[in-house]
Amino acid sequence: MAQEKKLVEEITSMEEDFAQWYTDVVKKAELIEYSSVKGCMIIRPYGYALWENIQRQLDADFKATGVENVYMPLFIPESLLQKEKDHVEGFAPEVAWVTHGGEEKLQERLCVRPTSETLFCDLYANIIQSYRDLPKLYNQWCSVVRWEKTTRPFLRSTEFLWQEGHTAHATEEEAIERTIQMLNVYADFCERVLAIPMIKGKKSDKEKFAGAKSTYTIEAMMHDGKALQSGTSHDFGDGFARAFDIQYTDKNNQLQYVHQTSWGMSTRIIGAIIMVHGDNSGLVLPPKVAPVQAMIIPIAQNKEGVLDKAYEVKEKLKDFKVKVDDSDKTPGWKFSEQEMRGIPVRIEIGPKDIEKNQAVVVRRDTREKIFVSLDEIEEKLAEILEKMQSDMLERAKAHLASHTYTAKNMQEFEEIISNKPGFIKAMWCMDEACENEIKDRTGATSRCMPFEQENIDDNCVCCGKPAKTMVYWGKAY
């Protein structure tokens, strides 16, 4: 929702410079601090609390589907990384190598994991013998390192936190089913908890994961119309199984290769929360993921009884994540602070309110002021938070819809891409040459071939030959 006036001077407005706005918000909300290690960020308590909320809820979703957590080593021996050809070619340019232990040079270099497929495969080769050992549904929460050229907080850092799920199945069908199932877990989580609508679909061969048979993705649209790949789920077929010799004996005593999947979501999703919901006053957090859901701000707090009342209300609201800002800053300061941090609502309590046995509840997203009797503040707060959560999703959906266009030829495509930020739905012949040409000419990449297909036209937007699929195109982070 557009703000009438800019209340926080330190934050660059997003219309002026979106990238700078993003950096300002990340810093002012105290999510991160830059560290002295190039490309690595320090996640501060508030940022980490946000990650913990994401982690806790997503982890529960995984476990509900039978997934178990494990922890794998940080290092991968070079020989292990080399086993799957496409995989090593995809990751070799960006891995960090450990060459020495103390003063001694290692016999074999170790890479700091950029992802752990190889380690999981190595494990599976050892522990899977029979069809009775399947499926294996493992996940780990960890950090990985990718030596990126340019970095940005949350969106791309040298080290980042994520989870990586790795599963092994007896059949191809079961693996494909799991791949789609986990993609849906991500998409549902993003909609329900983060209030971010996702486009679900399949990646083109060019964009798929190194070593995968198929990669599925959820793509979100940021406020500036750019795409953010927010989670991926890969079907590996039996490619890794053949490279790592992961075989089991089936019911008929025949040796079979397993079929595998992997799927991941990272701290990058925090970047999506910022860029989908944030405004010119700072962060706006969906109530279901906010570390603090309501900040009680006492007015004239040194007046008799004000602070006591504030604590009393906090106690009353103990089912919610509520804090009292009893610092000796001015109320105006506290308002701004609450807004920069995206705390969903603030509750103002001053002498006038106490007289009337009420509080002023102000929504962060709309700044709507709601006068609530202290007798019914619990029910009202629950209502307000719920309404805010669903309003945020609706707004994000509306933004996605209103910034999605269709193009039937390159003239239309180029027209849109240079004038209107957003996604373009257009047909494709599935020839990589066209995908490359579109990227060269417009800077837009194929985001995905969505599950929900439409027939925009019969022919490829680029070459005009018969089309095979509809693709979402867009500029991406």
Partner RNA sequence: CGAGGUGUGGCUCAGUUUGGUUAGAGCGCUACGUUAGGGACGUAGAGGCCGCAGGUUCAAAUCCUGUCACCUCGACCA
**Of 375, 288, 376, 300, which Cα lies nearest the Cα of 332?**
300
User: Over the range 280-295, which residues count as b (16 or more CB within 10 Å of their CB) and which as e?
Assistant: bbbbbbbbbbbbbbbb
x/- mask, RNA, residues 291-330, rule CB under 7 A, reads: --------xxxx-------------------------xxx
Q: How far is the CB of 362 from RNA (least distance, A)?
A: 6
x/- mask, RNA, residues 52-91, rule CB under 7 A, reads: ----------------------------------------
Nearer to RNA by Cβ, of 38 and 100: the residue is: 38
Of the residues 4, 9, 103, 104, which one makes contact with RNA according to CB under 7 A: 9
Report whether 296 contacts 191 (CB < 8 A): no
Of the residues 10, 52, 68, 454, which one makes contact with RNA according to CB under 7 A: 10
Which whole-number Å values give the CA distances from 404 to 29, 223, 284, 476, in the listed order? 30, 12, 23, 14
Query: Can residue 405 be called a binding residue for RNA (CB under 7 A)?
Result: no
Query: Can residue 349 be called a binding residue for RNA (CB under 7 A)?
Result: yes
Of the residues 443, 453, 458, 466, which one makes contact with RNA according to CB under 7 A: 443
Nearer to RNA by Cβ, of 257 and 423: the residue is: 423
Q: Which of residues 185-224 bind RNA (CB under 7 A)?
A: 209
Q: Which two tokens stand for residue 180?
A: 């789609």
Where do we find the tokens 């700078």? 20
Q: How far is the CB of 208 from RNA (least distance, A)?
A: 8
Q: How far is the CB of 278 from RNA (least distance, A)?
A: 14
238 phi, psi to nearest 5 deg: -110, 20
Of the residues 335, 405, 413, 472, which one makes contact with RNA according to CB under 7 A: 335
Nearer to RNA by Cβ, of 139 and 158: the residue is: 158
Q: Which two tokens stand for residue 359?
A: 């509080």
| Sign of the CA dihedral with 24 first, then 416, 219, and 211 last | negative
Q: How far is the CB of 39 from RNA (least distance, A)?
A: 6
For residue 108, the one-letter residue type is E
**Collapsed DSSP state (helix, strand, coil) of residue 189:** helix
Nearer to RNA by Cβ, of 138 and 162: the residue is: 162
**Count of C-beta atoms within a 10 Å radius of residue 430:** 16
User: Over the range 299-313, which residues count as b (16 or more CB within 10 Å of their CB) and which as e?
Assistant: bebeeeebbebbeeb
Query: Can residue 150 be called a binding residue for RNA (CB under 7 A)?
Result: yes
Of the residues 149, 251, 253, 452, which one makes contact with RNA according to CB under 7 A: 149
E-assigned strands of 325-414? 345-349, 358-363, 369-373, 404-406
Query: Can residue 441 be called a binding residue for RNA (CB under 7 A)?
Result: no
Report whether 314 contacts 324 (CB < 8 A): yes
Instruction: With contacts defined by CB under 7 A, name the span among 68-76, 121-129, 148-156, 248-256 that binds RNA.
Output: 148-156
Residues at the contact surface with RNA, assessed by CB under 7 A: 7-10, 19, 23, 28, 34, 37-39, 93-94, 146, 148-152, 154-158, 160, 162, 209, 229-230, 232, 264, 266-268, 281, 299-302, 328-333, 335-337, 339-340, 348-353, 360, 362, 367, 443, 476-477
